[in-house]
């Protein structure tokens, strides 16, 4: 009997332990709930996925993980055949007949994807495959009986999968790198039911020891398949990455740790203090408020010597962005049946966009380290166009005022801007900043109001129900393809879908539909860029900004940390050297 | 020990003056009070509410709450030893064993969460070298002395299980336990019913004789004084206005206040009288006393001298009286 | 015994009341979990599905009654992370208890001691000093104390003596190092209140007639103070200690737990409130109500043990 | 006696419930007042004496309908007050008024004397506001206070003055009957007589009937025409004042009289009762006085005596087996 | 025999409300109390100025750059988005008063009235019901209760006020109830019955005014508690929604202090400490001055 909460031992001396810090706790470790990087950090380490992103390659590149190779795709792009590696074992767990983990088979993958379509699990990942993989929706409609087959998702033998699509889906392989597609044995899901969320049974590099709202502790999975690291294949760049000492893992089989702890530390200050103490967490993202203390230089980013002596650093742009969209369904500023009003509304939106001071936002919140850009294709996307006109992200108060005046907007007839946020301090200051900008172009103080929501769930509800004229949100890429952000403005995705702006542009929608079945190509890139321009021209959103992340880790840790796209894949490659070897006392 | 008729008094109080600091300024609650008590004598201290009786009694034991009160002048000699010169610890030892005091409120004067037995034995053991058992036996016999039936078992009762009269008798038993030379009894029977009051007073008198102690009986009931005391002191506004043998004082009062007081108390008369004699007016504000005689404002014999000059206590026909124009005196 | 039984019976309406109010506030009108459980690109159908799963589509009465049956069975199912509520509580409550206990005890014990000193030397400089410190202690915000202590004691800018946060307790030294700062902060803040309260209790008791009686019979002031007065003061002391138990056991440590990242029941409850995790809320609310009734009963029993006046009625 | 008495009390009783058991059910009754009857004629005073807790106040409160009787009737001018509802009672409140014991507790400390005295007039809407003001001044003058007193607060007055304010309030509505519950017990001797004189005067000048409650026989006899003696909730003797003092019949009355401390008398003549006043919760069987009675007989222990008219020797009644 | 004029009448006639005068005199003799009052008044003037628009109007303006140090233009420097911290701290003073006064007044009124009813009808079902309600609300830990109210009334700017009032009235209610049970047996209540006053009139005319000393002291305690609770609630994100408060400033500062920027923290905590301290001194002195055992 391995009651996990009982033997929650601290790192016994001699065990190689790495303590990671993360700013939020996952709410569940069930792959059906692996909606964010927090959950994925644990899920992808406890479970296996068919594919994964390469450890070191940037931009992100896929590689087979549990799959033996990339899929074989039929000519029409509709049928995928995937072989998985034989001999992979689940960890030992009482859910298995004799308590010993059995072999992972293709059928387990089928089962795991079906779980995303079983309402009992309150799954969150179905949108990735809904309407795309044939038969799954029907399977769900028929009552989600796992013994019934789904026509498009089959295991043709123990190690071979066949997937049939309703239409081409170039991002399909990316979805198989998501935590959502992590592979769960049926025995565990049936034995633990809901408690699977705190009791993962997988075949990933680590197995769970304990988990609560303040940290998760995992230990090495002794059965994890032996696959020596090939740094070249992982995208190693000796010029950029040699300082990390990563070459030390070449040819060795992960995981290298005996024990992995992830501390969930909400307050960045606490994380920072803990990190600095030297004997607690060994990794942190540099809290934004520490930037001036830590950095000697911002361009390029360089640590101050006292930090450089103790820590390794990596910095890069996030795979995501923040933006504020107008809800076009609000007749006060969006679509209006009256063409004249429609025109004036557009002028209003454009004026607001001009008044939005991205530079100030960048300076005050990100110490000038973030990158702001026009449109909705983020800089880390391969399709990003660095030469796009920056007018839409350049402050132009005079121009904005002129635009308002020319279109008959006066302080009296300006609509009230309701800015919905959650209750945090940063959100409030964002709002205060926004209000000050709007006042600069003539909005009266009380026509820019904040509405707070208790939780992110509550504000999402307001967005999904179209109750707010402004939607200020962030989007993290699920996979490195601009399609992932372009779908945010696709008409049929309107509320309650992801198109919270309820942008409806037939031309845009047509282009989106066309590009969504295309493989990456210059032609597809051109279409993406045209769509991007449309969103910009229609003044639908104030966008966008990608933050720079700066990671620090102790010098005895051998790693290139990352938290983008799926998050957490790097953990199995982390190695820790004996402290005395590397830690210069300061 | 002095005999009752010996010239040396047991207690000699001279010029005792007590002041309180209050919001309304300094209040002189007791003003140059002097009196003597001889062994085994009962002395009554009477006067209206607020005239300083309790404060006088408390100052004999140096129990004036301080702050705000302070004895600012005078001496209190018990068998020739000035109590005011003792240090706090010394005084503590003498309380209970040489001079003890009991109070008016039998309901609240005992600690509600200890049995009366433990309260009595605590006092006993404080002053005498006794074992717990001896103390308990002694306590039981004391309770029996104050006629509490079934004394042995009653020791384990809590105060609230006793009636008011019994509680007051427990207090008396406690007072007797260490055989003090002087007992100050501050209105010990005022809160009791008449029939109970009679019982308790009776008892006190008997025990006083048995234990040969002197009692200063503080009360506002002239009837009680008349029936129990050999001598009486009449206080008015912080000073003694008249003192003397009880019978003489009550039969021929010299001070108009004493006379007025005696006349105005309702008493059982054969005939209903149309109107009781009264002393008009009210006691002056303690913080705002008149310059001359403090009774001048209410006195029916007042003369102009009374408003200017304070009379001092002097002997008139056997009574000591503080009045410029004492009644029935031939001047 | 009969008395205890009666007391417990009168606790039933209280439990109903507490559960009703809390159910209405936290569960019925509380945050809507639906949208947290939806994927990034949900459909209207999924929304209905999730709402049904969560029982949001039922009436208040139906949901409350369902809750009561759960309460009677003492089984509230699984929290939103999937963990059985029972094991969640079993994990978090002990942490909260041992986290808060030292501060709780220290606050009350030191409070009583300081109050004793202040009352004993009433009006003197010791009293004035203690009371001045108490007022200062009462005037500083708990939050500010926590932040200041954390900077002073845990950060590399300060003394760096204790862990900043977390809860990794395997041994006594671990335990002590984790609770040190929270305990200091809670004690610091509680002390002002406790001292003042207890001092006023002692002072009030010192003016009682029986104290004067005891003094008139020559008992030493020390003995009067530490024996007679103290026993009389036990009643308010017990009441205060007792009634702060439910507060600290469930809610009192919320701030500490969230600031120091300690996985206790306060934090778990708070998180359940903000996420609308109904099973956890229901369990905590029920537990609180039961604990409250229990404490009330216990308080009455102790009260009777101390005060002979009560026991006879 | 002529005509119908103003107040007739018939078999008045008040039992307070004693709770016990698991559900706090009523397990017994505390007989605070037990089957008391008497009459008071207009303009006359009945004095009521008895020891603490014997039920005097409870009786007084029942006459004022501040407490509901358990049994019995209170006839006022022929009307049974116990049957009136709240509204009907309001009319009678003007005719029956009360003076209370505690000069400190019977006046609201946050209201001026004027407001206090005026309040009955306001409640019953007597006259115009101007009239009321004038009436307040008159009343204050009657009880010997100046008109300025109306603007001041009770705590600025001495006990005797406060008691007079209370009397002024009681007189505001020109009552016919006054219940005075220990109106002078809390006062100093020298002030007591002032207030007693006032009560005598108002009774004489205004012809008010009075129930005067006190524990002090000396006080009672000064104002009363008749005196009733209560013991443990029952009336044990009632007779004209002169008679009861000179020739008490009940042994308790005798003891009570002898216990009053008197100037010019030494203690020896006193009858001292043994034992304690029993509690009303556990009244002795038979005659409640028997455990303390110096003249106790066998019958006293078992049979409770009833109040009987004195046959030959004068008027009055007594409840004692000594007088068959 | 009108001795009134001879003795007391000599003093000034018609000194109205002299019970309060006595309280005032006692209060004025208490030096810490007076100092507290003076400090509270200074704060009050600061708050008043904000309401009247004399100062603090630029609390929302982006008047400077990020994290400016103390200077003549910005007495406490500026915050992360360049707002003037001094203006915000002053503006927060008015918020503190707003929260404090609203909560104190309403909680005291509700506690007073309900407590008076419970006490007056002690033993009846009204009392049982009110006691039950008090126990129920007491049984729910304060911060959780506030959080629950705040989240269930999410969006309402007064959620925090409602929550605080709902929990703060209980203390007052219990005290008033206890006091009223004592008062109920006072003879002046009986006298009021005898006169023919209805029970409602007795409660409002005779009972409530006589609990005013408790009400005043409780109100001052509620005021302080509200200000202190606001800080913690704002920190937890369930306090003030719009506008500025010390709690919000401290919330802002929690991250900044580790960056070595202490201005928000110091400004807010010092100002708050000052007000709370002053108010504590004030309410202590009030409590002493109004203690009925020491007054009448
Ligand atoms: N603790 C105190 N603080 C201030 N003044 C006091 C204090 N104790 C007594 N006094 C003052 O001393 C005076 C005398 O009080 P004392 O208690 O001796 O009167 P008393 O004669 O015993 O009256 P009573 O018959 O009411 O007991 C009072 O007028 C009062 O003003
Ligand atoms: N509300 C009540 N509930 C229960 N018992 C009561 C109540 N009021 C009075 N009693 C009891 O009734 C008995 C008579 O009380 P009452 O107050 O009438 O006596 P009293 O003669 O006026 O006494 P005192 O001289 O002390 O004023 C007492 O034993 C008392 O305990
Ligand atoms: Mg006295
Ligand atoms: Mg009475």
Q: Which of C209, C212, C218 sits opposite B96 (nearest CB)?
A: C218
Q: Which residue of E has its CA nearest to C268?
A: E144
- Yes or no: say if A512 and A532 are a contact pair by the CB < 8 Å rule: no
Q: Which residue of C has its CA nearest to E276?
A: C139
pLDDT at A415: 94
CB pairs under 8 A between A and C: 155
Task: Return the residue in E139, E249, E268, E273 with the most chain C beta carbons within 10 A, the one to mutate for interface testing.
Answer: E139
SS3 D166: helix
pLDDT at B56: 93
To 10 degrees, what angle do helices A397-406 and A339-355 make? Answer: 170
Assess B272–D contact: CB distance below 8 Å, yes or no: yes
> Which residues of C are less than 8 Å from B110 in CB distance?
210, 213
| In chain E, residues 177-196 whose CB comes closer than 8 Å to chain D | 186-188, 190-196
d(CA C288, CA E213): 34
d(CA D293, CA D290): 5
Sign of CA dihedral A518, A520, A526, A532: positive
Q: Is the pLDDT of residue E2 over 50?
A: no
Ligand that comes closest to the CA of residue D181: 4
> Which residues of C are less than 8 Å from B96 in CB distance?
216-219
pLDDT at A354: 95
- The encoded tokens of residue A188 equal 């565990």
Q: Is the pLDDT of residue B177 over 60?
A: yes
User: Domain spans of chain B?
Assistant: 3-229
- SS3 for chain B is CCCCCCCCCCEEEEEEEEEEEECCEEEEEEEEEEEEECCCCEEEEECCCCCCHHHHHHHHCCCCCCCCEEEEEEEEEECCEEHHHCCHHHHHHHECCCEEEECCCCCCCCCCCCCHHHHHHHHHHHHCCCCHHHHHHHHHHHHHHCCCCCHHHHCCCCHHHCCHHHHHHHHHHHHHHCCCCEEEEECCCCCCCHHHHHHHHHHHHHHHHHHCCEEEEEECCHHHHHHHCCEEEEEECCEEEEEEEHHHHHHCCCCHHHHHHHHHCCCCCCCCCCCCCCCCCCCCCCCCCCCCCCCHHHCCCCCHHHHHCCCCCEEECCEEECCCCCCCCCC
> Which residues of C are less than 8 Å from B67 in CB distance?
123
Phi-psi map region of A350: left, alpha, beta (phi>0 left; psi -120 to 50 alpha): alpha
pLDDT at C1: 66
- Yes or no: say if A39 and A125 are a contact pair by the CB < 8 Å rule: no
The superfamily (CATH) of domain B3-229 is: P-loop containing nucleotide triphosphate hydrolases (3.40.50.300)
- Yes or no: say if E289 and E28 are a contact pair by the CB < 8 Å rule: no
> Which residues of C are less than 8 Å from A266 in CB distance?
258, 261
The residues, any chain, with a CB within 8 Å of residue B174's CB and separated by 6 or more, are: B100, B102, B119, B120, B123, B142, C217
pLDDT at B270: 65
Highest-pLDDT range among A315-319, B161-165, C5-9: A315-319
**Residues that place a CB less than 5 A from ion ligand 4:** D 57
Name the residue among C135, D73, B306, A181 with its Cα closest to residue E280.
C135
Cα atoms found within 13 Å of the Cα of residue E70, Cβ hemisphere only:
8
Task: Spell out the domains of chain E, with CATH numbers in brackets.
Answer: 18-54+73-295 (1.10.3720.10)
- The rounded Cα A30 to chain-centroid distance in angstroms is 17
Is B23's CB within 8 Å of E6's CB? no
pLDDT at C311: 56
Hey, which residues does A211 pair with through a beta bridge? A216
Ligand 3 geometric centre to CA of B55 (Å):
7
| Main-chain phi, psi angles of D257, to 5 degrees | -65, -40
Is E6's CB within 8 Å of B281's CB? yes
DSSP for D67-84, please give it: S--SEEEEEETTEEGGG-
CB atoms within 10 A of CB D265: 14
Task: Return the residue in C216, C219, C237 with the most chain B beta carbons within 10 A, the one to mutate for interface testing.
Answer: C216
Task: Return the residue in E96, E141, E260 with the most chain C beta carbons within 10 A, the one to mutate for interface testing.
Answer: E141
Q: Is the pLDDT of residue E4 over 90?
A: no
Report which protein residue has its CA nearest ligand 2's atom 11.
D32
Ligand that comes closest to the CA of residue B239: 1
Ligand 4 geometric centre to CA of D216 (Å):
12
**Containing H/E element for A313?**
strand A311-317
Contact residues of E toward B, CB < 8 A: 1, 3, 6-7, 22, 25-26, 29
Provide the H-helix boundaries in chain C: 2-22, 44-54, 60-73, 85-120, 125-139, 142-149, 172-206, 209-216, 221-223, 230-246, 254-260, 265-275, 278-306, 308-311
d(CA E199, CA E193): 8
Report pLDDT digits (tens) over C109-132. 999 999 989 988 888 889 889 988
% of residues, chain D, pLDDT over 70: 95
Least confident of A350-359, A574-583, B229-238, D223-232: A574-583
d(CA D113, CA D110): 9
**pLDDT per residue as tens, chain A (586 positions):** 333 333 333 445 678 899 999 988 888 899 998 888 899 999 999 999 999 999 998 888 999 999 999 999 999 999 999 999 999 999 999 999 989 999 999 999 999 999 999 988 888 888 889 889 999 999 999 988 999 999 999 999 999 999 999 999 989 999 999 999 999 999 999 999 888 999 999 999 999 999 887 789 999 999 999 999 999 999 999 988 888 889 889 999 999 999 999 998 877 777 887 888 777 889 998 887 788 888 998 888 999 999 999 999 998 899 999 999 999 999 999 999 999 999 999 999 999 999 999 999 998 888 889 999 999 999 988 899 999 999 999 999 999 999 999 999 999 999 999 998 887 788 888 999 999 999 999 999 989 998 888 778 888 888 888 899 999 988 988 888 899 999 999 999 988 888 999 999 999 999 999 998 888 899 999 999 999 999 999 999 999 899 998 999 999 899 999 888 888 889 999 999 876 544 443 3
Residues in chain B: 331
Q: Is the pLDDT of residue D1 over 80?
A: no
- Considering the domain C85-306 in this protein, what is its CATH number? 1.10.3720.10
Is D273's CB within 8 Å of B226's CB? no
User: Ligand 2: which atom is nearest the Cα of residue D182?
Assistant: 27
- Site of tokens 């002291």: E217
Assess C124–D contact: CB distance below 8 Å, yes or no: no
Assess C195–E contact: CB distance below 8 Å, yes or no: no
Ligand that comes closest to the CA of residue B51: 1
Q: Is the pLDDT of residue C304 over 60?
A: yes
Is C212's CB within 8 Å of B122's CB? no
């Amino acid at each position: 009997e391995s009651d996990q909460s009982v033997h929650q031992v601290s790192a016994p001396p001699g065990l190689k332990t790495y303590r990671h810090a993360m700013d939020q706790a996952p709410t569940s470790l069930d792959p059906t709930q692996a909606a964010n990087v927090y959950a994925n950090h644990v899920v992808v380490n406890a479970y296996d996925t068919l594919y994964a992103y390469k450890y070191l390659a940037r931009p992100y590149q896929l590689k087979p993980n549990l799959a033996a190779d990339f899929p074989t795709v039929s000519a029409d792009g509709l049928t995928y055949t995937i072989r998985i590696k034989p001999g992979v074992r689940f960890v030992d767990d009482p859910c298995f007949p004799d308590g010993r983990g059995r072999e992972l088979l293709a059928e387990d993958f089928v089962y795991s994807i079906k779980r995303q379509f079983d309402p009992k699990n309150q799954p969150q990942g179905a949108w990735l495959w809904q309407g795309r993989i044939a038969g799954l929706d029907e399977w769900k409609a028929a009552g989600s009986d796992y013994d019934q087959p789904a026509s498009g998702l089959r295991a043709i033998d123990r190690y071979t999968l066949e997937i049939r699509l309703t239409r081409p889906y170039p991002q399909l392989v990316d979805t198989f790198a998501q935590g959502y597609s992590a592979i769960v044995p049926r025995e565990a899901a049936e034995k633990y039911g809901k408690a699977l969320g705190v009791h993962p049974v997988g075949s990933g590099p680590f197995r769970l020891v304990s988990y609560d709202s303040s940290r998760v502790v995992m230990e090495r999975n002794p059965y994890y398949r032996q696959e020596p690291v090939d740094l070249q294949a992982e995208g190693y760049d000796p010029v950029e990455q040699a300082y990390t000492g990563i070459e030390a893992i070449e040819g060795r089989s992960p995981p290298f740790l005996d024990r992995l702890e992830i501390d969930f530390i909400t307050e960045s200050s606490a994380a920072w203090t803990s990190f600095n103490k030297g004997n607690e967490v060994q990794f942190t993202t540099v809290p934004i408020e520490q930037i001036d203390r830590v950095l000697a230089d911002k361009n390029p980013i360089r640590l101050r010597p006292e930090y450089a002596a103790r820590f390794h650093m990596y910095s890069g742009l996030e795979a995501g962005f923040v933006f504020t969209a107008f809800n076009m369904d609000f007749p006060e500023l969006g679509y209006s049946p009256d063409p004249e009003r429609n025109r004036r509304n557009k002028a209003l939106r454009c004026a607001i966009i001009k008044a939005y001071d991205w530079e100030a936002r960048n300076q005050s919140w990100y110490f000038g380290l973030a990158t702001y850009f026009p449109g909705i294709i983020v800089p880390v996307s391969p399709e990003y166009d660095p030469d796009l006109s920056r007018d839409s992200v350049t402050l132009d108060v005079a121009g904005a005022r002129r635009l308002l005046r020319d279109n008959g907007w006066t302080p009296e007839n300006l609509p009230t801007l309701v800015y919905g946020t959650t209750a945090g301090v940063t959100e409030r200051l964002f709002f205060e900043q926004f209000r000050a900008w709007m006042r600069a172009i003539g909005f009266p103080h009380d026509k820019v109001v904040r509405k707070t929501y208790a939780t992110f769930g509550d504000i999402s509800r307001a967005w999904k129900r179209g109750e707010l004229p402004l939607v200020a949100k962030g989007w993290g890429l699920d996979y490195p393809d601009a399609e992932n952000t372009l779908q945010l403005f696709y008409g049929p995705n309107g509320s309650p879908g992801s198109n919270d702006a309820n942008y409806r542009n037939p031309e845009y929608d047509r282009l989106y539909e066309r590009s969504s079945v295309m493989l990456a190509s210059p032609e597809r890139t051109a279409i993406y860029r045209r769509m991007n321009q449309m969103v910009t021209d229609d003044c639908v959103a104030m966008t966008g900004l990608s933050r720079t992340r700066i990671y620090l880790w102790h010098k005895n840790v051998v790693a290139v940390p990352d938290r983008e796209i799926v998050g957490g894949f790097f953990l199995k490659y982390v190695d820790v050297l004996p402290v005395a070897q590397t830690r210069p006392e300061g | 020990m002095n005999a009752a008729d010996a010239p040396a008094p047991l207690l000699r109080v001279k010029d005792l003056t007590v002041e309180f600091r209050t919001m309304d300024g300094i209040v002189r609650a007791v003003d140059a009070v002097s009196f003597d008590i001889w062994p085994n004598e009962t002395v009554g201290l009477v006067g209206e509410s607020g005239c300083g009786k309790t404060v006088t009694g408390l100052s004999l034991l140096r129990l004036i709450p301080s702050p705000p009160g302070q004895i600012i002048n005078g001496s209190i000699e018990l068998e020739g030893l000035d109590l005011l010169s003792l240090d706090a610890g010394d005084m503590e030892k003498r309380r209970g064993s040489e001079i003890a005091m009991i109070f008016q409120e039998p309901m609240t004067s005992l600690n509600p969460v200890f049995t009366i037995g433990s309260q009595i034995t605590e006092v006993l053991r404080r002053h005498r070298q006794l074992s717990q058992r001896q103390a308990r036996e002694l306590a039981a016999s004391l309770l029996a002395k104050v006629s509490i039936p079934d004394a042995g078992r009653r020791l384990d009762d809590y105060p609230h299980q006793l009636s008011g009269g019994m509680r007051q008798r427990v207090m008396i038993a406690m007072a007797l336990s260490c055989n003090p030379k002087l007992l100050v009894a501050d209105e010990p029977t005022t809160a009791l019913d008449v029939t109970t009051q009679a019982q308790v007073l009776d008892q006190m008198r008997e025990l006083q004789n048995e234990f040969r102690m002197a009692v200063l009986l503080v009360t506002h009931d002239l009837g009680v004084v008349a029936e129990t005391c050999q001598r009486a002191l009449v206080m008015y506004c912080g000073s003694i206005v008249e003192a003397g043998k009880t019978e003489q004082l009550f039969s021929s009062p010299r001070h108009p206040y004493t006379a007025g007081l005696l006349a105005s108390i309702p008493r059982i008369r054969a005939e209903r009288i149309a109107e009781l004699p009264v002393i008009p007016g009210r006691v002056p504000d303690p913080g705002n006393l008149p310059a001359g005689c403090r009774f001048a404002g209410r006195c029916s014999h007042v003369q102009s001298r009374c408003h200017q000059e304070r009379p001092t206590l002097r002997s008139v026909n056997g009574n000591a009286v503080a009045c410029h124009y004492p009644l029935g005196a031939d001047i | 015994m009969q008395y205890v039984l009666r007391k417990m019976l009168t606790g039933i309406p209280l439990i109903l009341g507490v559960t009703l109010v809390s159910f209405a506030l936290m569960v019925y009108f509380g945050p809507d979990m639906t949208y947290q459980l939806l994927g990034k690109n949900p459909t209207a159908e999924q929304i209905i599905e999730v709402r049904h799963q969560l029982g949001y589509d039922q009436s208040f009465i139906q949901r409350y009654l369902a809750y009561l049956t759960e309460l009677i069975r003492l089984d509230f199912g699984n929290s939103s992370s999937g963990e059985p509520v029972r094991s969640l509580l079993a994990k978090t409550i002990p942490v909260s208890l041992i986290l808060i206990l030292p501060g709780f005890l220290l606050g009350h014990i030191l409070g009583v001691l300081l109050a004793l000193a202040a009352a004993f030397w009433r009006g003197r400089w010791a009293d004035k000093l203690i009371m001045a410190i108490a007022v200062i202690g009462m005037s500083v915000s708990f939050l500010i104390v926590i932040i200041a202590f954390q900077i002073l004691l845990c950060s590399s800018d300060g003394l760096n003596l204790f862990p900043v946060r977390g809860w990794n307790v395997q041994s006594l030294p671990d335990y002590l190092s984790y609770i040190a700062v929270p305990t200091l902060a809670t004690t610091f803040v509680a002390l002002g209140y406790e001292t003042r309260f207890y001092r006023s209790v002692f002072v009030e008791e010192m003016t009682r007639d029986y104290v004067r009686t005891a003094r008139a019979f020559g008992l030493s002031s020390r003995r009067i103070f530490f024996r007679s007065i103290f026993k009389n003061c036990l009643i308010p002391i017990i009441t205060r200690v007792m009634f702060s138990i439910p507060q600290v056991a469930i809610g009192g440590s919320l701030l500490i737990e969230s600031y120091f990242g300690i996985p206790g029941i306060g934090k778990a409850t708070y998180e359940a409130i903000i996420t609308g995790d109904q099973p956890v809320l229901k369990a905590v609310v029920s537990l609180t109500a039961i604990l409250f009734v229990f404490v009330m009963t216990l308080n009455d029993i102790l009260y009777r043990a101390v005060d002979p006046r009560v026991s006879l009625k | 006696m002529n005509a119908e008495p103003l107040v007739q009390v018939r078999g008045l009783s008040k039992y307070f419930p004693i709770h016990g058991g698991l559900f706090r059910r009523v397990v017994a009754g505390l007989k605070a007042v037990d089957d008391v009857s008497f009459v008071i004629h207009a303009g006359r005073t009945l004095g009521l004496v008895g020891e603490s807790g014997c039920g005097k106040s409870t009786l007084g409160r029942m006459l004022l309908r501040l407490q509901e009787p358990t049994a019995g009737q209170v006839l006022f001018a022929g009307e049974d007050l116990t049957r009136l509802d709240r509204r009907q009672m309001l009319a009678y409140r003007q005719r029956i008024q009360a003076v209370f014991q505690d000069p400190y507790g019977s006046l609201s400390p946050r209201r001026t004397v004027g407001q206090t005295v005026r309040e009955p007039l306001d409640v019953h809407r007597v006259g115009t506001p101007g009239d009321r003001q004038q009436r307040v001044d008159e009343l204050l003058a009657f009880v010997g206070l100046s008109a300025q007193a109306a603007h001041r607060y009770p705590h600025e007055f001495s006990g005797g003055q406060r008691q007079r304010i209370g009397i002024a309030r009681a007189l505001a509505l020109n009552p016919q009957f006054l219940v005075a519950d220990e109106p002078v017990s809390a006062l100093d001797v020298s002030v007591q007589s002032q207030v007693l004189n006032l009560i005598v005067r108002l009774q004489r000048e205004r012809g008010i009937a009075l129930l005067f409650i006190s524990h002090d026989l000396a006080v009672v006899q000064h104002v009363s025409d008749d005196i009733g003696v209560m013991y443990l909730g029952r009336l044990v003797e009632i007779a004209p004042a002169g008679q009861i003092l000179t020739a008490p019949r009940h042994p308790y009355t005798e003891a009570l009289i002898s216990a009053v401390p008197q100037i010019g008398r030494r203690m020896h003549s006193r009858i001292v009762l043994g034992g304690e006043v029993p509690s009303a919760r556990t009244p002795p069987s038979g005659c409640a006085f028997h455990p303390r009675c110096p003249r106790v007989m066998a019958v006293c222990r078992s049979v409770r005596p009833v109040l009987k008219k004195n046959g030959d020797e004068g008027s009055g009644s007594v409840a004692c087996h000594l007088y068959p | 025999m009108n001795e009134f004029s001879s003795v007391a009448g000599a003093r000034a006639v018609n000194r109205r409300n002299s019970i309060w005068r006595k309280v005032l005199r006692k209060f004025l003799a208490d030096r810490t109390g007076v100092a507290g009052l003076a400090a509270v008044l200074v704060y009050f003037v600061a708050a008043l100025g904000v309401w009247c628009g004399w100062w603090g109007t630029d609390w929302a303006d982006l008047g400077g750059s990020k994290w400016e140090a103390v200077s003549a233009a910005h007495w406490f420097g500026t915050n992360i988005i360049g707002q003037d911290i001094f203006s915000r701290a002053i503006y927060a003073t008015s918020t503190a008063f707003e929260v404090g006064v609203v909560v104190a007044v309403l909680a005291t009124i509700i506690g007073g009235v309900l407590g008076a009813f419970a006490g007056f009808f002690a033993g009846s079902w009204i009392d049982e019901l009110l006691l039950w309600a008090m126990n129920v609300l007491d049984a729910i830990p304060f911060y959780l209760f506030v959080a629950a109210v705040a989240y269930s009334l999410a969006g309402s700017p007064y959620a925090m006020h409602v929550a605080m009032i709902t929990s703060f009235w209980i203390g007052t209610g219990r005290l008033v109830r206890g006091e009223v049970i004592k008062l109920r047996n006072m003879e002046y209540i009986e006298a009021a019955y005898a006169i023919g006053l209805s029970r409602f009139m007795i409660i409002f005319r005779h009972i409530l005014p006589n609990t005013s000393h408790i009400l005043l002291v409780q109100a001052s305690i509620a005021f302080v508690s509200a200000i202190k609770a606001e800080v913690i609630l704002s920190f937890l994100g369930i306090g003030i929604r719009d506008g500025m408060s010390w709690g919000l400033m401290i919330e802002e500062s929690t991250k900044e202090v580790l960056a070595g920027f202490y201005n928000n923290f110091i400004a807010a905590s010092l100002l708050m400490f000052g007000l709370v301290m002053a108010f504590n001194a004030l309410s202590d002195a009030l409590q002493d001055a109004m203690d009925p055992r020491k007054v009448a």
